[in-house]
Amino acid sequence: MHNNFSEAFDVIVVGSGPAGGECARELARRGRKVLLMEKSTGIGRPNFSSGGTPLETFKDFDLPFEIGRGTWSKVLIAARGGAKTWDYGETRGYVFAFDELKQFLAAETVKHGGKVMISTAAEEPTLEGDSVVGVKCKGVFGEGVIRGKVVVDASGPVGVLASKIGLREAEPEAAAIGIELIVEGVPPEFRNVLAFYFSDVYVPHGYGWIFPFGEHQCKVGVAVYGASKHGIPEDNHGTAGMMALLKKFMEKFPQFGDAEPVDLHGGNIYITGGIKNHSSNGFLVIGDAAMQINPLAGEGIRHALHSGRMAAEIIDRKLSANDVSRRALAEYDDRWAAYIGKKWRLSYLIAEKLYGDLTEDQWQYLMRILAGLSASELFKLGFDFEFLKVIKFKDVLRALKIKGSLQSYLRRREKAANRSHVATTHQKQG
Ligand SMILES: Cc1cc2nc3c(=O)[nH]c(=O)nc-3n(C[C@H](O)[C@H](O)[C@H](O)COP(=O)(O)OP(=O)(O)OC[C@H]3O[C@@H](n4cnc5c(N)ncnc54)[C@H](O)[C@@H]3O)c2cc1C
């Protein structure tokens, strides 16, 4: 356990979630002197995520299957307008024990020579001129500045350092809130199924889910997009309002009448589609801190792992070239833009409509489109975000009453987003 403020590092990674954990593990594997800093009293906390993920996550990141507590071979989607279950005939994915994923990545970091410092919160970046040269932090081991050639902000939705550097707003709009119970007992129909429930029938402006979690438990949760806009205050994860919605959602399933909750957790999800500039001199922001969560259903773990690995590869090369300037680290912007492609913009567009005010007719139309998809097409849609390869987008735009072509819609959206960004920046400066 690291508790020393005087040692300097090649890289300090702030936050031991999937993004920070993977970034630190990869840097340590590459022989870099890395410190993984976590404000919680133990790695694994906060243990807030539902952890649904496809099989590919385990293969791509060499993860042990034991940290996938639940398995799924089916996907169920229900909404106003019907329900359908797709059967993959074999395990198609897992539900992470989220705490164990984080503990695994931190343990691997240590195994490869990295250091971990718990109970220590990064407060602000330390600057020399316009370069970040360390982190001012405070915790049970004291307070002070720890120096690093590169500092990575992987602090999740709060984006503690990136907001101070001005790479993102501290509290962007379009926050969703998710809240979840782990309950004892899995009704047989929910074994091996990743079940999603959309539309006002289940959760207005959001969706509900039931995921299997091991042999004896399941995770039951609800998320609301644009929560404060819909009357749910975001403080304390909007617990009171969200709990009322979760209770209502669970009432739809008499099977959960006697269910015993053993854990309650939740968090904010910024579904803005991400930020454009991730770097400053000696600094990168990754994962949820850079809002790298797919807007369609708030899937973020797989993308956080990818962002962590991508950042580590780039930082390692730039350190070897002795150039960690903003311009050098900005390679990350291009790599990330290529990773998300146009697909994430479409995810955003669809999410905005799905969690907006669709009419009964529109839901029925969408459910008819979904019902016509094979299991592999549904996977391409829900996990690869390959909308244009799977559905006729022209029909979807017409059904959702979006005027003009897809391209012109996206251009209109982008202009509006830039205008609102400029307006907020001016407000802040004013
Ligand atoms: C209720 C809910 C359900 C979800 N379900 C799913 C799902 O089923 N599948 C999926 O793929 N994604 C899901 N997500 C999203 C997913 O959990 C996130 O996208 C993912 O955890 C992001 O990883 P990260 O490492 O960027 O951030 P985080 O996991 O948020 O990790 C950030 C870490 O930084 C630490 N930290 C914060 N501030 C500081 C500081 N000042 N100093 C030091 N450390 C700090 C935090 O304690 C935390 O450990 C869900 C999210 C929520 C809220």
* pLDDT surpasses 80 at 117: yes
Q: Measured from the CB, is residue 302 less than 6 Å from ligand 1?
A: yes
Q: Which atom of ligand 1 is nearest to the CA of 20?
A: 25
Q: Could you tell me which of 174, 173, 235, 232 has the C-alpha nearest to residue 203?
A: 232
pLDDT-derived band at 430 (thresholds 50, 70, 90) equals very low
pTM greater than the 0.85 cutoff: yes
pLDDT-derived band at 325 (thresholds 50, 70, 90) equals very high
Q: Measured from the CB, is residue 17 less than 6 Å from ligand 1?
A: yes
Q: Measured from the CB, is residue 121 less than 6 Å from ligand 1?
A: yes
The amino acid present at 136, given as its one-letter code, is K
Q: Measured from the CB, is residue 156 less than 6 Å from ligand 1?
A: yes
Determine which residue's CA is closest to atom 10 belonging to ligand 1: 299
Determine which residue's CA is closest to atom 30 belonging to ligand 1: 156
Please report, rounded to a whole number, the percentage of residues in the chain having pLDDT higher than 70.
92
Q: Measured from the CB, is residue 161 less than 6 Å from ligand 1?
A: no
Contact yes or no for 299/49 (Cβ under 8 A): no
Other beta carbons less than 10 A from residue 293's beta carbon = 25
Q: Measured from the CB, is residue 180 less than 6 Å from ligand 1?
A: yes
Q: Measured from the CB, is residue 39 less than 6 Å from ligand 1?
A: yes
Q: Measured from the CB, is residue 16 less than 6 Å from ligand 1?
A: yes
Higher pLDDT, 100 or 273: 100
- DSSP H or E stretch at residue 392: none
* pLDDT surpasses 90 at 406: no
Tell me, what's the pLDDT at 284? Answer: 98
Ligand 1 mean position to 392 CA, how many Å? 34
Alpha-carbon gap, residue 293 to 175, rounded angstroms: 11
- ω into 46 cis (within 30 of 0): yes
Distances (CA, A) of 302 to 94, 112, 122, 198, 245: 12, 22, 25, 22, 27
List the single range of 59-63, 191-195, 224-228 with lowest mean pLDDT.
Answer: 224-228
Alpha-carbon gap, residue 204 to 357, rounded angstroms: 9
Q: Measured from the CB, is residue 135 less than 6 Å from ligand 1?
A: no
Tell me, what's the pLDDT at 31? Answer: 98
pLDDT-derived band at 398 (thresholds 50, 70, 90) equals confident
Tell me, what's the pLDDT at 397? Answer: 76
Tell me, what's the pLDDT at 5? Answer: 87
Q: Measured from the CB, is residue 272 less than 6 Å from ligand 1?
A: no
pLDDT tens per residue, range 171-189? 887 689 999 999 998 888 9
H helices of 323-392, where?
326-329, 331-340, 343-354, 360-371, 375-382, 387-390
Ligand 1 mean position to 307 CA, how many Å? 13
Q: Measured from the CB, is residue 301 less than 6 Å from ligand 1?
A: yes
* pLDDT surpasses 70 at 226: yes
Ligand 1 mean position to 414 CA, how many Å? 27
Distances (CA, A) of 218 to 66, 126, 221: 17, 43, 10
Alpha-carbon gap, residue 204 to 202, rounded angstroms: 7
Ligand 1 mean position to 304 CA, how many Å? 9
- Which structural domains are found in the chain, ordered by start? 9-47+99-171+276-340 (3.50.50.60), 71-92+173-270 (3.30.9.10), 343-429 (no CATH)
